[in-house]
Structure formats: structure tokens, C-alpha cells
Chain A
């Protein structure tokens, strides 16, 4: 089965700290790896995404690190703020074909003030 494994399940970080969430995938055909942020009662919103031809992508305080050989990618949130408290999902898909997203299990992030 095409799985994406995400860890940790929950994470508590102090304000100003770095939040790190990790994901691992199995299917080497995946070529698009987005991260989504979801607040309670809302749909997920795209945060940042990466293609496997680069090892890192940075957008503001959010950085994706991608290790193709290890089939792992991670989200780093720098200078974490209480407003970042949400559930984060990694995902993966093939841009050709059905393009179905496979989601990780989610990480509930809490930023303490």
C-alpha cells in the first residue's frame, strides 16, 4: 500500500523555537510532496510543497528538507508562534496519472506562549 508515515503524532514547542515534523514514504514514483495546515473545523490549506529535484525549499519561516535516497522529507517551522498551533499533514502524490494525494497521519502542533 502506498503509505506516508508521519511523526510525531503531537508536538509541543515554546514560542520562538523550531518545530520539526518528519515524514517517510514508500512509493518512489511520488514526485510532489506538499504540507498542509489544518485548523479545527476547517479544511486543510497548502503551506509549502517540494518536488524531488531539490533538497530544500524555503518560504518565510517554513522550510521543507527532502532526502530522496532515504525517502524522507520534513517540515521545519522557524521562530514558531502561537498562531502556528494547528494540525499539520504531509502528503505525497504522482503528478501524472490519477494524482491522488496520500496523507500522513497528522501532527498536532502546540506552540506555548
Chain B
């Protein structure tokens, strides 16, 4: 099946620094990617929809200036957590849908665990 790769899988940073997480679709093109956040033992919460070549659409309550999303190509979306604080520590997961061979299936990355000290 299609593969979505996330990098890094784990990152630890100091409070106040910025962290960038990459999401790549390895064998398909994705005009739309989704970014989720998951706290321990909780469900996935959609943060934003990333659209290639245009601004991301953020869910209610998600600060767009804090969580910067860039979708510069059909295979890459990035999430930058700016001025990270301990409460931003979470598991961030991206997903993508095959633009051409659309069947409804969303392919998920392996997730990136962010720990802010």
C-alpha cells in the first residue's frame, strides 16, 4: 500500500524553540494532507488540512501562528511548532490521500513524538 513517511519520529527540544516535522508521501501525490495531534490514551484530533500551493485550513481552537503548515509540493507537507512549550508535547501524526487513485483511504504516517522540556 501507499506509504507516508514522517520525520523525525522523536524529537526533544527546549521550551521556546521551534520544531519542524516533515510528512512525505513516498509513492503517490497528495494535494491534501492532514495533521493530527494525539495525547496519551486519547483519540486523534484534527489540527489542520494542508493544501498544496495554498494556505492550510485550521480547525477551531488551533493557533495558526503557533502551528505553521507548509505544503510546498505534492509530496511534502511540514508542520512547524513555533516557540514550543511543555503543553505542546504530544504525538503528531500526518495523513495523506492519493490524489489520483482516490479510494477514500487515508494513509497515515508513523507519527512524531514531540517532548518539550
Q: Which residues of A are in contact with B by a Cβ distance under 8 Å?
A: 32, 34, 36, 41-46, 49, 89, 93, 95, 98-101, 103-106, 108
B42 contacts A101, C-beta separation under 8 Å: no
**Residues of A contacting B95 with CB < 8 Å?**
43, 101
Q: Which of B34, B106, B107, B113 contacts A41 (CB 8 A)?
A: B113
| Contact flag A43-B109 (CB < 8 Å), given A100-B46, A104-B43 | yes
**How many residue pairs at the A-B interface have CB separations less than 8 Å?**
51
List of B residues within 8 angstroms of A95 by Cβ: 104
Please tell me if the beta carbons of A32 and B43 are within 8 angstroms of each other in the complex. no
How far does the alpha carbon of A24 sit from the alpha carbon of B105 in the complex, in Å? 20
Contact B43 A43 (CB under 8 A): no
Give the secondary structure class of A's interface: loop
User: Which B residues have a C-beta under 8 Å from some C-beta of A?
Assistant: 4, 6, 32, 34, 41-46, 49, 57, 93, 95, 97, 104-111, 113
Q: Which 8 A-B pairs have the closest CB atoms?
A: A43-B108, A43-B111, A103-B43, A32-B104, A43-B110, A103-B44, A106-B43, A43-B93
Task: Please tell me if the beta carbons of B46 and A46 are within 8 angstroms of each other in the complex.
Answer: no
A26 to chain B, nearest CB (A): 16
CB-CB under 8 A from B32, the residues of chain A are: 99
For B109, what are the chain A residues with a Cβ–Cβ distance below 8 Å?
Answer: 43
Shortest CB–CB separation between residue A15 and chain B, in angstroms? 24
CB distance from B77 to the nearest CB of A (A): 15
